[in-house]
Amino acid sequence: MQSQLAARLADSGMVFFPQGHLRSVLKEALRTWQSMSTVQRGRFVFNHTAAAPFYDLATVTGSLIPRTLTDHDLVNDLQYALMEPVNDFSSSTTWGGTEQFSMDDLVKAIQRRRDQFLLETGCVITASEIAVGSPFDGRVPLNDSIIDVRRAAWKNLDSVYSTLWRSDERQLNSLLVGWATTGGTPQVYSTIVVPPITLQLGPIPDASGSIHLLTVNVGQALDVATGVDLGIPDDLAWAIKFGALADLLSRDGEARDPARAAHAEQRYAEGVMIAKITGSVLNLEVNGAQTPIVDLQSLDAMSPGWQTVATNSGTPTVGAMAGLNLIGFSPVPSAASSVTIDCVRNAPIPANDAAQVQLAREHLDVVLDYAEYLARFKEGGAEWEATMPLAQNMLKLAADHNQRLAAQAQLEDELRSQSQREADRRPMRIAVA
């Protein structure tokens, strides 16, 4: 593929487009194709841990959707796109920057867009638990790494869980008179009146306990000296790259390029849209038995205390999705039962230049088209603008592939939307006309 791409670029000697650049854009093209077409499906198996209800599917053993890309990967991608010297992060020497861009500029642009992407999409959910003392006014300060609370549950000192539902002080004052003065078991939480990253519990707890949280968090602080995981799905990392390019090319000075900046911003927005509609888990089995997949809000509504191990443990009979990565099981696993996941997997990336590329023959041309568009971004001007139809070729074939999938199964859309149903039931935002 590198040789074919070099020939398309009229640079068979790989001089202006060095081999590292070709390898970089081909990997990005494969990942972008997978994010748009979801053509690659796969199956992996892992084991439950006793008394653990939630699992991050990106981190379980054998996962086909791991988050593997680091800040090193995106820094290199930006350097190629901006026609700057590329870092060899295996050495201690780092790129010193130019009058247009510094390493700090690149890292901050990636980090800013990565966190914005997490805020806009909520595609990665984190589970945590914090202790709450008593007596107090029911206000619980949260860690400043939390962007949004997606779900909360109260755990009392007997390890009995109860779901906390989103509410506000107006409802509390109307429906739960005395909630702020008479203690009890919390039933709801509010984030409306309190300061940012604070929960107001209602009624205020009459005893100590804990709050189990599912949240959207900012990613780790990036550090190219050590290399830090981006913390987003690999096949959506291209959106972060384009978002960073939009910021870098929008600045005043020598770096300013309004045309490419506007285009990069549009591509970032496309990545956000794809992240909001893409799927992950398609089918679930526990110990070889077919297991239904529901959204977590529905499980909470049907069984508010389902996390309580003492009253609801055994072999799971239902899985509940929260975001693209997190799944809960009810009953809470009592033993190391086997879990089989059929999923929309990460794009298979060849381990080396001699490895087989797992790409259907009918998809090869459009992926090469898109890679040419990516490679010529650094040229700007007419040479790059002429590749816009090449990028559209891949978008059109991805749309055609999804239409054919929909025609092959009456409920294919239902299968693919299982990972996103929680966001519909517990929306992050309400659109304003």
Continuous segment of H or E residues that includes residue 246: helix 237-248
Co-location of 331 and 299 in the same domain: yes
**Same domain, residue pair 203 and 136:** yes
**Is the same domain home to 320 and 331?**
yes
Q: Would you list the DSSP string of 128-194?
A: EEEEE-SSS-SEEE--TTEEEEEEEEEE-TT--EEEEEE--HHHHHHHSTTTTTS-B---EEE-SSS
87, part of any domain: no
Least reliable range by pLDDT among 19-23, 33-37, 306-310, 425-429: 425-429
Q: What is the pLDDT of residues 169-218, one digit of tens each?
A: 999 999 888 898 888 999 999 999 999 989 999 999 999 999 999 999 99
Question: Quick one: which H or E segment has residue 412?
Answer: helix 412-416
Token pair in block for residue 367: 């992926």
- Residues 195, 171: one domain? yes
Owning domain of residue 55 = 41-65+280-346
Structurally, the chain folds into a number of domains equal to 3
117 is a domain residue = no
Q: Is the pLDDT of residue 433 over 70?
A: no
Q: Quick check: is 25 in a domain?
A: yes
- Residue at 362 is within a domain: yes
Domain-terminating residue out of 187, 217, 247: 217
pLDDT number for residue 92: 73
The answer to pTM > 0.85 is: yes
